[in-house]
Structure 1
């Protein structure tokens, strides 16, 4: 798949061949452009073409390669129909348009790729991250962010005006419920205590590394598997912990920040 910057004229060229790569002579060429959600953006019936050229180039104008509000990247799909004497040959071509930055604070990440790379310099056991390409790192960081923002969390911040002793330094507690994560802005995030923001970034980087390494035991836990038998060998997977959808190594960075809601109900 190809990537193009936002507001860029994209040229898609396709040959006049069937699905067996045998040359065909089209009698008409139709095309439709869709977004990544399969919503049609443009219908292009009866495109002009030269049957002797052996190919057709379609220019998708920059106005149709614009990102929506809050989007950092978006897909485009061009579906082509070549009408021939022996039937219709259908082809599809897809590409991605990207904004200036792939990661944005509190949109799909707690940090940029550059910040994650600097953080990784002081961490050990990041073999998955170290051996990954930038594209793989982007994907892993985004997925890690999605997982972490499904966890209710809390942090405490100082009340400087009413501070009387060190025991009150972190007296005021803020809770971020799962439903509140999508509403947190970049400005609000940057106002949170530095120690909590660093914990989130460490957790995101650790979970991204776990994703890049592939943890078969963690996958089995998330699937609800408690035991596994292969031939004459069996293995029990420890249970009893609350499953948050992230690895145990990731949760270590969130010690004291995971929010548990306790309700008392009448029997």
Structure 2
């Protein structure tokens, strides 16, 4: 898919958001199937006063899928909705992406079914699908943070762009010009920013923990976003988001907490 011209500098991240949107669109079909083609009709076995707590996993889960696929798939084509990169980033604030829903809905639905001895395969699948969508929300959050750290976003918002400066040292040359192919002149280029090795070590730790593919990808995305923020100067805020995003897998990162704190 060709990314719109004004977003070419952040094309990999826009492409990722669109791919996530496609996943949400596929999930919307799954929600419909689980409700209408499986045993969800037997939710009536749950007492009336508690039934809405089980039905909520479908209602909220499908609403999430519909909103997210519409919002994400429109990024590349709806200029009136997303005229700038800043508009894209801002559009997702106060939405599902940043927790504008009750995360306990799937757990409550499961508990109610257990409490009343109602075993519905469709509800179990809905709970799993809801949590899978939450993983995608985490990926969207990380990607939006990467976009917010980009030079394009900073230029749109009047934020100084920190360019990497190169110090060039030349030796063995007595004139005012350099002949690139000469045997007596050497040049060395030193880039001021060196990424701390802790980020690569964290990614290695993730890969060595035998996590499922989706979890591994989400955690690596979070580490990459954290590394990007360290270079761009937004590490303190990104660190808070990182700790929140990976809280369920904090044991993977416990050896690195003190090292990350030292970078604050």
| TM-score (norm: length of structure 2) | 0.30
**Structure that is richer in strand per residue:** 1
* Greater helix proportion: 2
Bigger CA radius of gyration: 1
